Amino acid sequence: MGIDREIGRRAVFLDRDGVINRAVVRAGRPYPPRELEEVEIVPGVPEALQRLRDAGFDLIVVTNQPDVARGTTSLAAVERINVYLRSTLGLDTILTCVHDDVDGCACRKPRPGFLLQMSQERGLSLARSFMVGDRWRDIETGRNAGCRTVFIDYGYDERWPGDIADHVCASLSEAAQWIMEEVAV
């Protein structure tokens, strides 16, 4: 039996690197921090998350970490970063795909596996939920799951998904403001 898409609870699904913590940008492309010591929470993120939490949204991070499969980052390092972010920011959960594209898993963005899983487990309405990200994979994931999407545009040197996102902005603070305005309508 499926979840009624108009009745379930709401969530804001968030990408990790670039949305809640700074991505490491090299040659115009974003990369995740490799160790906890490199993690820097983006200014305004704690306040934006608190506003969304106060509005009744579940806060769920969905992150691709293919460097684990590629052998350039350890799973332990990724888990240290996730534990720190979850405890510091009061996130409900962080779901991590450690596969690479060739693995063909359902959890690697842009596939919506993690969003569909959370919809079932937490009774979430994906139609009433939002996906916030800074890369095309995030926006495609939200669209594939039936969520509304917010693209945080940092001007990376890669495919630009702003034309398919529901909203384009410059920060999670701006994304939270737009989401709050949308749910107030």
Which domain CATH number covers 50?
Answer: 3.40.50.1000
Residue 117 located in a structural domain = yes
**Dihedrals φ, ψ of 39, to 5°?**
-75, 130
Residue 2 located in a structural domain = no
Structural domain of 65: 11-184
Structure tokens at 130: 């939002």
Q: What total number of domains does the chain contain? A: 1
Residue 85 located in a structural domain = yes
- CB proximity list for 92: less than 8 A, separation 6 or greater: 58, 59, 60
One-letter amino acid for residue 50 of the chain: Q
Q: Using DSSP, state whether 175 is helix, strand or coil.
A: helix
Taking alpha carbons only, the member of 145, 173, 151 closest to residue 163 is 151
Residue 5 located in a structural domain = no
- CB proximity list for 14: less than 8 A, separation 6 or greater: 20, 59, 60, 61, 62, 91, 131, 132, 133, 172
What length is written for the chain? 185
Structure tokens at 46: 């704690």
Residue 120 located in a structural domain = yes
In the Cβ-directed half-sphere of 99, how many Cα atoms lie within 13 Å? 14
Residue 30 located in a structural domain = yes
Dist. CA 70–CA 42, nearest whole Å:
27
Residue 4 located in a structural domain = no
pLDDT tens, per residue, the chain with 185 residues: 343 345 779 999 999 999 999 999 999 999 999 999 999 999 999 999 999 999 999 999 999 999 999 999 999 999 999 999 999 999 999 999 999 988 889 999 999 999 999 999 999 999 999 999 999 999 999 999 999 999 999 999 999 999 999 999 999 999 999 999 999 86
Exposed, middle or buried by CB within 10 Å (0-12, 13-18, 19+), for 6? exposed
Q: With the C-alpha atoms ordered 159, 164, 167, 172, is the resulting torsion angle positive or negative?
A: negative
pLDDT of residue 1: 34
What is the b/e burial string over 28-50, where b = at least 16 CB atoms within 10 angstroms of the residue's CB? eebebbbeeeebeebeebeebbe
